[in-house]
């Protein structure tokens, strides 16, 4: 069962970059049950119209935040990381795609994408297998509408809903 989830955030020109997203990334990995696989950030700079981008691979040890802090605070690091993002990264988003995303953004707007691995899923799959079963469903849902689970529960029980 796939264990990766893609989260995307669109930020308008009025967005305030004060470290909230970096803090969230750091907290995501702190418990060890989630691992950041990739981060992509693309912005159409409001003042210059130039693209600013970061296309980074995570290793699950929380080290992805440090280059992002440098990207945010140090103009020379931002230029260097942008050049790398526009050149493309093996196994990552191509430079052409980064440019296409940037060109689609309104002046000053940004998009951030985070690919997260749900590490907790593997032990659950292993436990199900050892118990002689299989993990049959995994999805996010609104906890206020648990009745939406009935068809899945019936299917897992070998029945169909009526």
pLDDT tens, residue by residue, 16-71: 888 888 888 888 888 778 888 899 999 998 888 899 999 999 876 667 888 998 99
pLDDT tens, residue by residue, 137-146: 777 776 676 7
Please list the alpha-helical segments (H only) found in the chain.
Answer: 20-30, 65-73, 75-87, 95-104, 121-130, 150-156
pTM of the model: 0.79
Q: Phi and psi (nearest 5°) for 9?
A: -130, 125
The CA distance from 111 to 154, in Å, is 39
pLDDT tens, residue by residue, 119-135: 888 888 889 889 988 87
């Amino acid at each position: 069962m796939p264990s990766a989830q893609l989260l995307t955030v669109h930020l308008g020109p009025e967005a305030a970059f004060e470290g909230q997203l970096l803090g969230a990334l750091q907290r995501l990995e702190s418990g060890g049950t989630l691992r950041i696989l990739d981060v992509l950030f693309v912005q159409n700079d409001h003042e210059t119209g130039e693209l600013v981008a970061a296309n980074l691979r995570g290793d699950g040890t929380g080290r992805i935040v440090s280059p992002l802090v440098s990207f945010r605070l140090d103009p020379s690091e931002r230029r260097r990381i942008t050049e790398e993002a526009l050149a493309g990264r093996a196994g990552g988003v191509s430079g052409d795609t980064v440019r296409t995303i940037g060109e689609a953004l309104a002046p000053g707007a940004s998009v951030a994408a985070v690919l997260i691995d749900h590490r907790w899923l593997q032990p659950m799959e292993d436990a199900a297998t050892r118990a002689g079963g299989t993990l049959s469903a995994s999805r996010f849902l609104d906890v206020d509408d648990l009745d939406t689970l009935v068809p899945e529960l019936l299917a897992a029980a070998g029945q169909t809903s009526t």
